[in-house]
């Protein structure tokens, strides 16, 4: 397939681009605005491949999208492009509205004009928090943060293009991802890098919030599987095989990195913090996909990757991320 991968310079989008080039022989054009989270380093190993192309541009910019489609002549658009951090959406929601609402609209219009298959990458956070049991595709949408609310709006717009215009749309909702190339504002890479540097490990509230972890290669695989085998107009959940309380994840990272439990610091909880996410993947499993990486093994590999790839995170940890960290946590990094 020839794919236009929007947001392909981010964590999961670059993992998806790598998978499609290396394992499926696809042609991949990445369109990415290169926000703080988008980095060419994320596809450093793909740049030499003649089937891979990168264009810098925003999805809300109709001209940039039209030019990318003209150049790539894709059969499908896969949209990863998003603002993705809940804490940033609480502090500054405007980019979330622009990218998720306007950006998704511009891509849908382009897909409609050119008759392209369209896959929206989405999140379990659209369902809100669940104390017991697990969300299915039929669960009501009850987002609670500006991040998840704007992602939900984008999903609804995608569905409207299926119902109204007959566009071939698919939505794939993932649970919390982890793995190499994840920007260190998120729990797992933040804790790994702080652990390795002897910085405090900032746990929100009691740390008993539960997340359903999926390795990024498994989520990328699910997205490709849904793109190839999904029924147009349908939503598919892709949840990981393991659920863990945050505090247990942090303790495991301490063990794997040789840090100390005394680095744990319980700090003021996130406003509106979702207590638990849990996603049923039966529908996509029935299409023939299953996650391969268990959390224990995936986390050990991820800690090893960050340990061995300081070239990737050193520029981040010494740049704007430092001032973000100070604003968010009220203290400096070492
Ligand atoms: P990320 O923050 O690492 O990457 C996002 C990418 O989108 C970056 O490269 C950024 O430059 C680009 N981008 C942002 N705004 C853009 C715009 N207006 N135009 C073009 N490019 C833009 O995020 P990620 O973790 O890789 O997430 C990718 C997708 O997967 C998102 O849609 C997210 O909602 C979804 N998702 C993420 C998780 C997770 O745990 N990280 C879980 C489920 C779903
Ligand atoms: P995060 O990685 O931000 O993902 P999400 O909010 O999308 O689930 O956070 C994962 C969990 O870790 C969430 O319950 C919030 C918690 N957390 C902390 O306790 N401390 C932190 O510094 C961060 C970034 C997250």
Residue of the CA atom closest to atom 25 of ligand 2 = 187
Residue identified by tokens 């491949």 is 49
Active site residues: 124-125, 147
Per-residue model confidence (pLDDT) at position 204: 98
Per-residue model confidence (pLDDT) at position 128: 98
Ligand in nearest proximity to the CA of 155: 1
Q: Which of 209, 237, 210, 234 minimizes the C-alpha distance to 223?
A: 237
Per-residue model confidence (pLDDT) at position 167: 98
Ligand in nearest proximity to the CA of 183: 1
* Spatial contact of 215 and 179, defined as CB atoms under 8 Å apart: yes
* Spatial contact of 222 and 158, defined as CB atoms under 8 Å apart: no
* Burial class for 295, CB neighbours closer than 10 Å (0-12, 13-18, 19+): buried
Residue identified by tokens 């989008």 is 13
Q: What mean pLDDT, rounded, does the chain reach?
A: 98
Q: CA-CA distances (angstroms) from residue 126 to 37, 97, 145, 182, 221? A: 21, 15, 9, 21, 21
Structure confidence by residue, pLDDT tens digits, 238-288: 999 999 999 999 999 999 999 999 999 999 999 999 999 999 999 999 999
Please state, for a pLDDT cut of 90, what percent of the chain lies above it.
Answer: 100
Structure confidence by residue, pLDDT tens digits, 72-101: 999 999 999 999 999 999 999 999 999 999
Residue of the CA atom closest to atom 14 of ligand 2 = 209
From the CA of 176, give the closest atom in ligand 2. Answer: 8
Structure confidence by residue, pLDDT tens digits, 156-190: 999 999 999 999 999 999 999 999 999 999 999 99
* Spatial contact of 143 and 125, defined as CB atoms under 8 Å apart: yes
The model's pTM is 0.99
Per-residue model confidence (pLDDT) at position 210: 98
Per-residue model confidence (pLDDT) at position 209: 98
**Pocket (CB within 6 angstroms of ligand 2):** 86, 176, 186-187, 190, 202-204, 209, 211, 246, 270
Q: Which of 113, 32, 142, 134 minimizes the C-alpha distance to 79?
A: 32
* Spatial contact of 157 and 167, defined as CB atoms under 8 Å apart: no
Residue of the CA atom closest to atom 7 of ligand 2 = 86
Centroid of ligand 1 to alpha carbon of 164 (angstroms)? 27
| Six token digits for residue 271 | 């406003």
Tell me how long the chain is: 334
Which residues, in sequence order, are CB contacts of 46 under 8 Å at separation 6+?
A: 14, 17, 18, 21, 28, 52
Which residues, in sequence order, are CB contacts of 236 under 8 Å at separation 6+?
A: 137, 170, 171, 172, 173, 222, 226, 230, 283, 284, 287
* Spatial contact of 189 and 182, defined as CB atoms under 8 Å apart: yes
Per-residue model confidence (pLDDT) at position 202: 98
Supply the DSSP string of 80-112, one letter for each residue: ------HHHHHH--HHHHIIIIIIHHHHHHHHH
Supply the DSSP string of 213-243, one letter for each residue: EEEHHHHHHHHHHHHHHPPTT-EEEE--SEE
- The residues facing 172 across adjacent strands are 121, 236
- In the Cβ-directed half-sphere of 163, how many Cα atoms lie within 13 Å? 7
Alpha helices in the chain (DSSP H): 11-24, 62-72, 86-91, 94-97, 104-114, 146-165, 187-197, 216-229, 246-257, 282-286, 295-308, 310-317, 320-329
Q: Which of 186, 178, 174 minimizes the C-alpha distance to 124?
A: 174
Rounded Cα gap, residues 260 and 26, in angstroms: 45
Band (292; pLDDT cuts 50, 70, 90): very high
Ligand in nearest proximity to the CA of 200: 2
Structure confidence by residue, pLDDT tens digits, 24-72: 999 999 999 999 999 999 999 999 999 999 999 999 999 999 999 999 9
Q: What are phi and psi of 63, to 5 degrees?
A: -70, -40
Per-residue model confidence (pLDDT) at position 97: 98
Alpha carbon 128 to its chain centroid, in Å, reads 17
């Amino acid at each position: 397939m020839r794919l236009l991968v929007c947001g392909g310079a981010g964590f999961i989008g670059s993992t998806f681009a790598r998978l499609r080039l290396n394992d499926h022989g696809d042609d991949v054009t990445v369109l990415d605005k290169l926000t703080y989270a988008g980095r060419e380093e994320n596809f450093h190993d793909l740049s030499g491949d003649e089937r891979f192309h990168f264009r810098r541009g925003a999805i809300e910019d109709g001209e940039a999208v039209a030019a990318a489609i003209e150049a790539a002549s894709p059969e499908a658009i896969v949209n990863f492009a998003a603002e993705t951090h809940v804490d940033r959406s609480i502090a500054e929601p405007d980019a979330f509205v622009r990218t998720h609402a306007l950006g998704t609209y511009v891509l849908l219009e382009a897909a409609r004009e050119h008759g392209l298959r369209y896959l929206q990458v989405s999140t379990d956070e659209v369902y809100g928090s669940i104390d017991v049991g697990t969300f299915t595709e039929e669960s009501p949408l009850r987002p609670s943060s500006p991040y998840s609310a704007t992602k939900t709006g984008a999903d609804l717009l995608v569905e409207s293009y299926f119902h109204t215009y007959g566009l071939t749309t698919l939505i794939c909702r993932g649970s919390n991802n982890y793995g190499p190339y994840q920007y260190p504002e998120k729990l797992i890479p933040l804790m790994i890098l702080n652990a390795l540097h002897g910085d405090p490990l900032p746990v929100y509230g009691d740390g008993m919030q539960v997340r359903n972890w999926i390795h990024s290669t498994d989520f990328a695989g699910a997205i490709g599987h849904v793109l190839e085998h999904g029924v147009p107009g349908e939503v598919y959940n892709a949840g990981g095989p393991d659920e863990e309380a945050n505090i247990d994840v942090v303790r495991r990272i301490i063990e794997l990195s040789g840090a100390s439990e005394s680095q744990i610091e319980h700090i003021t909880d996130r406003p509106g913090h979702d207590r638990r996410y849990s996603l049923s993947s039966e529908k996509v499993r029935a299409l023939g996909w299953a996650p391969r990486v268990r959390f224990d093994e995936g986390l050990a590999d991820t800690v090893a990757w960050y340990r061995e790839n300081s070239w990737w995170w050193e520029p981040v940890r010494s740049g704007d991320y430092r001032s973000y960290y100070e604003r968010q946590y009220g203290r400096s990094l070492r």
